[in-house]
Amino acid sequence: MNNNDTISTDILIIGGGPSGLAASIHLADIFKQRGLKGRILLIEKGRSIGSHIISGAVIKPSVFRELLPEADISEIPLTSKVTKDKTIMLGKKGAIALPFNIPYMRNKGNYTASLGQICRYLAVKAQERGVEIYPGFAVDEILYKDGKVIGAKTKDTGLDHHGHQLENFQAGTSIEAKITIFAEGTRGSLTKTLIKKFNLTLGRNEQVYSLGCKELWTVPEGNIEAGQIYHTMGYPLNIDEFGGGFIYGLKDNKVAVGLVVGLDYKDPSFDTHDAFQVWKTTPFVSSILKGGKLLEYGAKTLPEGGYYAIPKLYVDNALIVGDSAGLVAMPALKGVHLAIKSGMLAAETTANALENKDTSERTLQQYETLLNASIIHKELYPVRNFRQGFAKGEIIGALHFATQLITGGAGFFGRLRSHPDYQTTQKISEFKKKPFKDRFKGQLEFDKVLTFDKATDVFYSGVYHDEQQVVHLQINDPDKFNAINIEEYGAPEQFFCSSEVYELHVSKTGEKELRIHAENCMHCKTCDIKSPEEGITWLVPNGGNGPDFQNM
């Protein structure tokens, strides 16, 4: 793809994760079956497909049989069938394996895998079908004509910090498309503007998120078998913090470990990365990592609001799929198969629209009908109140969940509402419990063998950002930010950021300033979600910038 021009395509897909790749593959297959012709173009901001992909992952395989009916399941890099699946109640010193797994958390028949590897495999399958894939290009603008989406534009490059053109300036490419599919994953930055412009959340719940920090390790033989998986509850989280850990045995003595924490916590100094390090020091987790070596680190948010937080997913000439649409089945911590399924249903809707030469929202509405008749509705509807129930803590959440199980998801109160995560953070003056650092006194000095400080972990993500560009993390209103965010909340960014981007600098005269080290950014999007009063906007940086995950 050349910069500095306008190109046309039938379908533009923004994002090369499982949802976008599945949409492209299925669309190419339908075109072939129906004898249709059409150009399918997929743009990915990572420097290669997979480099921005991070997941657990334990994956439900059946959707791959639908997407790639000709493929042998052993050809798909689903590394190991789950052989042992335990839920562990974790304490600081002890661990008790529950005699049963929590409903929706049973993983019989599922596989452990690296989602990055799966995406690379899917990209090959898409290219074999004629899909044009362009990694290393960030899309940062939606193109509109007469108020309707007509495509999108890749980012201008060669700008200095103030947005002035440098010698190497290159204007982005405008890509005009009959239909644009937004597959940007969690908190999609273009999807966010699309949702706002068309008020697509009208009557829906607020989306809520978790942040997951993950490390990939190689460990001595015998520490864990491939296909052995554990989910942990409890320590180091309090009963009013939602989340838990995962330990997934992969082949070749590798293990994926992570802690996922709901961003609706109240403590302005809570730090998910550091809580993850404390979690690793428990005897249960450390025994699995003993003698091993860290290979990679990464972090990403995931949407957890469920059924009631799904926005309207179609407008004239555009559809939203995967995590951008909020399609994660929360009690199970699973979104991959739903992302793939939504991509396939978007492909079917798109093919019908092109065939009928009508890409208006009246036709694209079919996508919603298909979603409602699919496993997506089947999996999300019965747990439609799950995450909202836990907003009031683990005990009330568990009680709510029990009532939902016996009432088919309704619970005793019907639809429960949710609040945006930034609203749940308390001001320093309001937060009366022990702040994070006091809770874990003496446990936050990391030994760089089992536990790692953020800066070291960031090194293991391969992250890179061009120096010459407008800082992609924008403080929306600096005066208000200083007065509220820094003074009243104590600059929570320095704690919630997964990658040491934000530093509170205090001058000799006591003036406080939030310094932004955008070069460390992991693209997890936590700051866009959790910054008090929506103080920060995450904008798309230059294409090819960001982490360089290999096997996450």
Q: Report the residue number, 178 or 337, with the smaller CB distance to ligand FAD.
A: 337
Q: Least distance from C-beta 115 to ligand FAD, angstroms?
A: 6
Q: Report the residue number, 485 or 498, with the smaller CB distance to ligand FAD.
A: 498
Q: Least distance from C-beta 53 to ligand FAD, angstroms?
A: 5
Q: Dmax of the chain from CA atoms?
A: 72
Q: Report the residue number, 119 or 516, with the smaller CB distance to ligand FAD.
A: 119
Q: Is 519 helix (H, G, I), strand (E, B) or coil?
A: helix
Q: Least distance from C-beta 258 to ligand FAD, angstroms?
A: 5
Q: Least distance from C-beta 505 to ligand FAD, angstroms?
A: 30
Q: Write phi, then psi, for 159 (nearest 5 degrees).
A: -115, 150
The residues pairing with 44 across neighbouring beta strands, listed in sequence order, are 135
Q: Report the residue number, 491 or 528, with the smaller CB distance to ligand FAD.
A: 528
Contact 435, 276 (CB under 8 A): no
Distance between CA atoms of residues 49 and 125, nearest Å: 13
Q: Is 534 helix (H, G, I), strand (E, B) or coil?
A: helix
Q: Least distance from C-beta 340 to ligand FAD, angstroms?
A: 8
User: Would you state the structure tokens that stand for residue 342, as one six-digit string?
Assistant: 């939504």
- DSSP, residue by residue, 368-386: HHHHHTSHHHHHHGGGTTH
Contact 234, 270 (CB under 8 A): no
- Is the peptide bond prior to 256 cis by the omega test (within 30 degrees of 0)? no
Q: Least distance from C-beta 494 to ligand FAD, angstroms?
A: 22
User: Would you state the structure tokens that stand for residue 119, as one six-digit string?
Assistant: 């995406």
Distance between CA atoms of residues 426 and 502, nearest Å: 19
Q: Least distance from C-beta 406 to ligand FAD, angstroms?
A: 26
Q: Least distance from C-beta 480 to ligand FAD, angstroms?
A: 27
Q: Least distance from C-beta 54 to ligand FAD, angstroms?
A: 6
Distance between CA atoms of residues 226 and 166, nearest Å: 51
Q: Least distance from C-beta 57 to ligand FAD, angstroms?
A: 4
Distance between CA atoms of residues 310 and 338, nearest Å: 13
- DSSP, residue by residue, 120-182: HHHHHHHHHTT-EEEET--EEEEEEETTEEEEEEEPPEEE-TTS-EEEEEEPPPEEEEEEEEE
Cα–Cα distance list, 483 to 44, 267, 309, 474 (Å): 38, 19, 32, 16
| Dihedral sign for Cα atoms in the order 462, 463, 466, 467 | negative
- SS3 for 220-239 is CCCCCCCCEEEEEEECCCCC
Q: Report the residue number, 323 or 500, with the smaller CB distance to ligand FAD.
A: 323
Distance between CA atoms of residues 182 and 195, nearest Å: 11
Q: Report the residue number, 14 or 527, with the smaller CB distance to ligand FAD.
A: 14
Contact 304, 208 (CB under 8 A): yes
Q: Report the residue number, 182 or 481, with the smaller CB distance to ligand FAD.
A: 182
Task: State the residues that interact with ligand FAD by CB under 6 A.
Answer: 14-20, 43-46, 52-59, 115, 138-139, 183-186, 188-190, 212, 214, 258, 260, 300, 302, 322-324, 328, 333-337, 339, 540
Q: Least distance from C-beta 515 to ligand FAD, angstroms?
A: 26
Neighbours of 241 (CB within 10 A): 19
Q: Report the residue number, 497 or 514, with the smaller CB distance to ligand FAD.
A: 497
Radius of gyration of the chain (CA): 23
Q: Least distance from C-beta 154 to ligand FAD, angstroms?
A: 8
Q: Least distance from C-beta 338 to ligand FAD, angstroms?
A: 7
Q: Report the residue number, 485 or 545, with the smaller CB distance to ligand FAD.
A: 545
Q: Least distance from C-beta 76 to ligand FAD, angstroms?
A: 14
SS3 content of the chain, % helix, strand, coil (to 5): 30, 25, 45
Q: Report the residue number, 257 or 491, with the smaller CB distance to ligand FAD.
A: 257
Query: In the chain, how many H helices and how many E strands?
Result: 17, 24
Q: In one letter, which amino acid is 43?
A: I
Pairing of strands 157-159, 165-170: antiparallel
Q: Report the residue number, 43 or 491, with the smaller CB distance to ligand FAD.
A: 43
Q: Report the residue number, 318 or 328, with the smaller CB distance to ligand FAD.
A: 328
Distance between CA atoms of residues 201 and 311, nearest Å: 5
Q: Report the residue number, 18 or 411, with the smaller CB distance to ligand FAD.
A: 18
Q: Is 115 helix (H, G, I), strand (E, B) or coil?
A: helix
- Return the axis-axis angle of helices 18-34 and 115-128, rounded to nearest 10°: 20
Q: Report the residue number, 185 or 382, with the smaller CB distance to ligand FAD.
A: 185
